[in-house]
């Protein structure tokens, strides 16, 4: 039973650790790493390290949440849903990974691992506390102060007065030529149907259609009904639109020229 739990948790730890490098989003990678650490915490529980095992779960949940937040803050990919490549510097990382694997394997195989079962009724929690605040106090306090300094540094980096000036100024891209106006898309002012879907909406709509036909039928019934009135030969979407306004159908006002559902209907 314990063996089964150990192998399951080990497999989960290795699989989710591998997923960290295969997924295409920072958030997914972060929480895959968290699952890996939680599985390791479960293995610690199996070894009767009740405090270390549970504390690992606790710490990793908080730590990965904060890490995800900081990564998103620094990487300017606010949702983390945009696909991005999570691996780079292949040569170096392959070398480092290989060296680490060989080193750890040699260390595990050559170490004389202890094999002394815990005596029944031994209070490991008390032992751990005495160790932490006794002989190893200096080590842990040093690590603690170092981590605190790192945290203060991270907060300073992410605060308003950053390296590139005050963030209240707004994140304006540099000009195309020295001293020029900021590059990039200008925000369009004025109403109209500007935000009502372009090519991105077409692609997304087609993608969702594959697995959510039911939803589409329900929510866009008014569009579908409107389209059945249309002449079947209305290949030109503009023509279709004018047809609607001519008949002064109340639903036609809601159908914009670039409406993705309508184009979808006319394509077939």
Partner 1 sequence: MNFVLVLPAMIAALALGIWVAAILDATCRSLVAGQGRMSLTAAAPLRAAASYMSRQRLTTEAPDRMNWFLSIASYLALAAIGLAMVPLGPNTAVIGISTSVVLWGACESLVVVVVFLHGWSPNSPLALIGAYRYVAIGLPVMLLSMFVLIAAALPARSLDLREIVTSQAGMWNVLRQPLGLPLFLFLGLSLTLRGPFDYADSADLAGGTSVEDSGADRAGWQVARLAMLVGFSAMAATVFLGGYLGPVLPGAVWLILKTLAVMAVVIALSHLLARMPVARMLGLIWKVLLPLSFVDLLWAGLAALP
Give residues in contact with partner 1 (CB under 8 A). 27-28, 31, 34, 50-51, 54-55, 57-58, 61-62, 64-66, 68-69, 78-81, 125, 204-205, 207-208, 211-212, 214-215, 218-219
Instruction: Tally Cβ neighbours within 10 Å of residue 42.
Output: 20
The set of residues, in sequence order, having a beta carbon less than 8 Å from that of 139 and lying 6+ positions away, is none
The total number of residues written for the chain in this structure: 268
For the record, the structure tokens of 192 come out as 């109209």
How is 51-62 classified by DSSP, letter by letter? HHHHHHHHHHHH
Kindly provide the residue ranges of all beta strands, DSSP E only, lying in 159-267, ordered along the sequence: 161-162, 165-166
In the structure encoding, which two tokens stand for residue 248, read together? 């002064």
Q: Is 223 in a helix, a strand, or coil?
A: helix
d(CA 34, CA 7): 18
Residue 173's alpha-carbon distances to 160, 181, 190, 202, 261, in angstroms, are 18, 9, 23, 29, 35
Q: Are 43 and 10 in contact (CB under 8 A)?
A: yes
Query: Residue 64 burial by CB count (10 A; 0-12/13-18/19+): exposed, middle or buried?
Result: buried
């Amino acid at each position: 039973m314990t063996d089964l739990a150990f192998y399951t948790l080990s497999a989960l730890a290795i699989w989710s650790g591998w997923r960290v490098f295969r997924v295409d989003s920072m958030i997914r990678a972060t929480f895959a790493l968290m699952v890996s650490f939680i599985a390791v915490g479960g293995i610690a529980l199996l070894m009767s390290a009740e405090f270390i095992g549970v504390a690992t779960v606790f710490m990793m949940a908080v730590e990965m949440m904060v890490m995800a937040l900081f990564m998103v803050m620094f990487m300017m990919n606010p949702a983390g849903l945009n696909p991005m490549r999570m691996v780079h510097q292949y040569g170096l990382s392959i070398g480092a990974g290989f060296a680490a694997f060989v080193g750890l394997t040699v260390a595990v195989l050559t170490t004389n691992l202890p094999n002394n079962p815990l005596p029944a009724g031994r209070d490991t929690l008390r032992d751990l506390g005495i160790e932490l605040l006794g002989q190893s106090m200096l080590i842990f306090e040093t690590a603690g102060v170092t981590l605190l300094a790192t945290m203060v540094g991270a907060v300073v980096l992410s605060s308003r007065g950053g390296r590139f000036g005050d963030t209240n100024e707004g994140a304006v891209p540099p000009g195309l030529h020295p001293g020029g106006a900021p590059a990039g898309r200008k925000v369009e002012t004025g109403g109209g149907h500007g935000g009502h879907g372009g090519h991105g909406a077409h692609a997304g709509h087609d993608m969702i259609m594959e697995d959510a036909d039911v939803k589409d039928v329900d929510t866009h019934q008014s569009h579908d009904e409107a389209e059945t009135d249309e002449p079947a030969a209305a290949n030109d979407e503009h023509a279709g639109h004018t047809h609607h306004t001519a008949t002064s159908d109340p639903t036609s006002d809601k159908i914009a020229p670039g409406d993705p559902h309508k184009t979808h209907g006319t394509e077939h």
